[in-house]
Chain A
């Protein structure tokens, strides 16, 4: 995957991202780490086209994230599963496929079933989100993201609201997706998962990318804020 970020700044009430310049090529799985409030979520939302930056440009795999068609090529998994609560797990997927991707009902059903099975939810498709565990709902939301056949899947702290067992459950399911040929950009506080799954790491602090590199940088942080962070999460 190719990431290109130029002069990116973003301000809500205060500046959350300040003048980020960054480019990367040839990595399939990128982790963004850092303390809460360091701008990770904002960055991932900008990269996925969910929010527009105050200033600067981002392109992913050669397409500008502000182009209208870009969003349709993106899978996004939110912190809290964010399934539509009135629809069953399966309907959450088929509605998207039928209404926004033009699939027939039969095709949509097939794709939904395939992806639910991939996330070990083959027998849960007819349940409403409120009737499954948080981990199952989050896995269903990953299945929904996969169903639209995106180039890149963004995961914004997908396990932040889950207990340790469900967290393992979800992250294990993501690890199994390693070989499906998708690119991942994700935020997590689970350092062991970062080590297992990421092949590139970005560390953010106070709205800037402070350090980045291959997973080895976790063992030898240079910047004080990164050292401090690694001491806390170990």
Chain B
């Protein structure tokens, strides 16, 4: 079977399974009750995308800072990175969001819970982003540095023409995977009553009582964001691989 046809069949299989589930569950299935909440759901959808982009950018910055700590020659800074990473690896995102919004934020007189929630996602993703940088920079071999040295490239030229163009290519696919984690993780911001997609639909279903439809709708909306993203990642991987 050719590849495209295989994919069409695979997608049809999944749709058939979804339809079967919808028919087999006892309640009637209709999305029409959500039309009244269209604006709310749209807002949630957009907020999910926005929050995810902020978190991505934030974690790229913090990840880079912690990457610098991790390669630091100062033992204390390296240790700091290690301790931080170990703690974050063992912390559920939900816990981090709650602690950040209700404990750490107020301790520093910050009562903007949504902001602290986003900050929690950033902090949570920081070690993962750090690893992305780490693998990207380490993939430039020592011999390449020797060659740059031999030819006499200035430090600026090395970064501008040789190091950064390579690092960006290597960094893109794992960064996009992390972005997808962020998008899904942002659903946990609902505990702060922040109107992202999950929260928006939960609010709508509490009025419509169409819980099954709500979750299916939510699921489809998340896929609408994540699948194009992962397809784009694959494209970049193919196009840019070194």
- Chain A residues within CB distance 8 Å of chain B: 48-50, 71-72, 74, 76, 78, 80, 82, 84-86, 95-96, 99-100, 128, 130, 148
B169 — which chain A residues lie within 8 A by C-beta?
A: 86
Could you give 15 example pairs across A and B, Cβ below 8 Å?
Answer: A71-B150, A71-B152, A76-B147, A80-B143, A82-B143, A82-B144, A82-B146, A84-B144, A86-B165, A86-B169, A96-B151, A99-B153, A100-B152, A100-B157, A130-B241
Known A50-B149, A100-B152: A85·B242 in contact at CB below 8 Å: yes
Point out the residue from A76, A85, A148 that lies within 8 Å of B166, measured CB to CB: A85
In addition to A85-B166, A86-B242, A95-B162, 15 A-B residue pairs with Cβ atoms within 8 Å of each other are A48-B150, A50-B146, A71-B150, A78-B143, A80-B143, A82-B146, A82-B147, A85-B242, A86-B165, A86-B169, A96-B151, A100-B157, A128-B242, A130-B241, A130-B242
Among B143, B151, B241, B242, the one with the most A-chain Cβ atoms within 10 Å of its Cβ is B151
CA distance A130 to B157 in the complex (A): 23
B242 CB to closest chain A CB (Å) equals 4
Within 8 A of A (CB), among B153-173: 153, 157, 161-162, 165-166, 169
Contact partners of A148 in chain B: CB under 8 A: 151
List, in ascending order, chain A residues with CB within 8 A of B152's CB. 71-72, 100
CA distance A80 to B146 in the complex (A): 13
CB distance from B130 to the nearest CB of A (A): 23
Chain B interface (Cβ within 8 Å of chain A)? Answer: 141, 143-144, 146-147, 149-153, 157, 161-162, 165-166, 169, 241-242
Q: Contact at B150–A50, with CB atoms within 8 Å?
A: yes
- The SS class assigned to the A binding surface is loop
Q: How far is the CB of A15 from chain B (nearest CB, A)?
A: 21
Residue of B nearest to A78 (CB): B143
What CA separation (Å) do A50 and B157 show in the bound complex?
A: 19
Tell me if B151 and A78 are in contact (CB < 8 A): no
Q: Would you give the shortest CB distance from A66 to chain B, in whole angstroms?
A: 13
Collect the chain B residues with CB atoms within 8 Å of residue A78's CB: 143, 146-147
Residues of A within 8 A of B242 (CB): 85-86, 128, 130
Query: What residue in chain B is nearest A69 (Cβ atoms)?
Result: B152
Checking A49, A50, A82, A86 against B141 with a beta-carbon cut-off of 8 angstroms, the contacting residue is A82
- A71 and B149: CB pair below 8 A? yes
In the bound complex, residues from chain B placing their C-beta under 8 Å from that of A80 are 143
A76→B162 contact, CB < 8 A: no
CB distance from B124 to the nearest CB of A (A): 32
Instruction: State A78–B149 Cα separation when bound (angstroms).
Output: 13
Q: Which of B146, B150, B162, B241 contacts A84 (CB 8 A)?
A: B162
- Report whether B149 and A99 are in contact in the complex, using a CB–CB cutoff of 8 Å: no
Could you tell me the distance between the alpha carbons of A221 and B152 in the complex, rounded to whole angstroms?
41
With a cutoff of 8 Å between Cβ atoms, the chain B residues found around residue A48 in the complex are 150
Going nearest first, the 8 A-B pairs with the smallest beta carbon separation are A85-B242, A100-B152, A82-B143, A96-B151, A86-B166, A100-B151, A86-B165, A99-B157
Chain B residues lying within 8 Å of A82, measured Cβ to Cβ, are 141, 143-144, 146-147
Give chain A residues whose Cβ lies under 8 Å from the Cβ of B241: 130
Q: Give the chain B neighbours of A49 by CB distance below 8 A.
A: 150
**Using Cβ atoms and an 8 Å threshold, which residues of chain A touch B146?**
50, 78, 82
Complex CA–CA separation, A144 to B166 (angstroms): 19
Residues of A within 8 A of B150 (CB): 48-50, 71, 74, 76
Q: Name the distance in Å between A127's Cβ and chain B's nearest Cβ.
A: 13
Interchain CA distance A49-B151 in the complex, whole Å: 11
The interface residues of chain A lying within 8 Å CB-to-CB of B157 are 99-100
A99 and B153 CA atoms in complex are apart in Å by 7
- Whose C-beta in chain B lies nearest to the C-beta of A128? B242
A82 to B161 alpha-carbon distance, docked (Å):
16
- B160, closest chain A residue (CB): A99
* Residue of chain B at shortest CB distance from A50: B146
User: What is the chain A residue whose CB lies nearest that of B241?
Assistant: A130
Which chain A residue shows the least CB distance to B152?
A100
Name the CB-closest residue of B to A95: B161
Residues of chain B contacted by A76 (CB below 8 angstroms)? 147, 150
Q: Which residues of A contact B144 (CB under 8 A)?
A: 82, 84
Q: Could you tell me the distance between the alpha carbons of A99 and B160 in the complex, rounded to whole angstroms?
A: 11
The distance from the CB of A153 to the nearest CB of chain B, in whole angstroms, is 12
**Chain B residues in 8 Å Cβ range of A84:** 144, 147, 162, 166
Residue pair B153, A100 in contact (C-beta under 8 Å): yes
Assembly CA distance A85 to B165 (angstroms): 10
